[in-house]
Amino acid sequence: MEPGNHTRIPVFLLLGLSEQPEIQPCLFGMFLSLYLVTVAGNLLIILAILSDPHLHTPMYFFLSNLSFSDICFTSTTVPKMLVNIQTQSKAISYAGCITQMFFFTVFGLLDNLLLTVMAYDRFVAICHPLRYTDIMNSRLCAQLLLLSWLISVLGALPESLSTLRLSFCAIVEIPHYFCELPEVLKLACSDTFINNIILYLVTGIMGFFPLAGILFSYSQIVASVLRISTTGGKHKVFSTCGSHLSVVSLFYGTCLGVYLSSTWSRASWAGVFASVLYTVVTPMLNPFIYSLRNRDMKGALRKLLHSLLSQ
């Protein structure tokens, strides 16, 4: 590569899911539908929790914040892709790409940490039911939420800021529908050793410790359930944890798919499919999982929809 072809302010091109013109309307319709369902579903969860006093508990407090995080997480990638398809443009500015990577990482980490906090909430509720209201008080809930936000921002900053030191070719074609950090690093013209170290450190720390916290919480929950003699008591415990376990499995399953696919070729459809699951499908399914498996949530949603329709 000639030195004259290098620049610190390049033009980024998002190649998207397909370059075939005849497929673009189908992709636009599909992703617009998925995005609208995601936003509407998570917004309904938030409104139902706010409108029903019976749901003003720590578990639903964190669930409403998880829904808000899911809306923001999807909004970092899908709207830009829809605009690019509609305008038949693949361009995203250098600042836009860095900003997208930052907020994508922030809300991805926030989802991860909120799921960990929700696991701790279930652990306290099941293993220490008599002390639940004292332990999970409003002050601790606010502190856990603030800490989750703080860690998410601090975790995303090193990855994004370290990208500013890189040089890129004049035109950078990203084989994706959003600026994914590993893909961007592959296209840099300067040394990315430090960036890769930061990426692996943040991914390792933010992947291992939250997952370890979730596994520890549920190991204690299982041990507590085994001490329950009645079948009804065991069923009640599993019903309260089932939705959260389903969301955790979906979240980490798709994250693992993205991680494994990153070692394959850039053109791998498996990698693209894993990214779509992680960035679009998982945030869309979370409201359905919590509403379909939770009697209180279903009741609150029915009341909310009835009040909205009666106006």
Counting the structural domains of the chain, the total is: 1
pLDDT computed for residue 147 by the predictor: 97
In a domain, 67, yes or no: yes
In a domain, 242, yes or no: yes
Q: Looking at residue 111, which CATH number applies to its domain?
A: 1.20.1070.10
Q: 120-131: per-residue pLDDT in tens?
A: 999 999 899 899
> 97: phi > 0 → left, psi -120 to 50 → alpha, else beta; which?
alpha
Q: How many CB atoms lie within 10 A of CB 267?
A: 8
Which tops the pLDDT comparison, 7 or 154? Answer: 154
Q: Is the pLDDT of residue 63 over 90?
A: yes
In a domain, 223, yes or no: yes
Q: Is the pLDDT of residue 145 over 70?
A: yes
pLDDT over 70 percentage in the chain: 87
Pairwise CA distance, residues 236 & 49, whole Å: 21
In a domain, 178, yes or no: yes
Of the given ranges (77-91, 191-205, 262-276), which has the lowest mean pLDDT? 262-276
In a domain, 122, yes or no: yes
In a domain, 2, yes or no: no
Q: 149-189: per-residue pLDDT in tens?
A: 999 999 999 999 999 988 887 778 888 889 988 889 988 98
Task: Label residue 98 by pLDDT band (50, 70, 90).
Answer: very high
Structure tokens at 67: 């829904």
pTM of the shown model:
0.91
In a domain, 295, yes or no: yes
Pairwise CA distance, residues 293 & 271, whole Å: 30
The domain of 214 spans 10-310
Pairwise CA distance, residues 151 & 147, whole Å: 6
In a domain, 139, yes or no: yes
Q: 234-264: per-residue pLDDT in tens?
A: 666 676 687 888 888 888 887 776 666 555 5
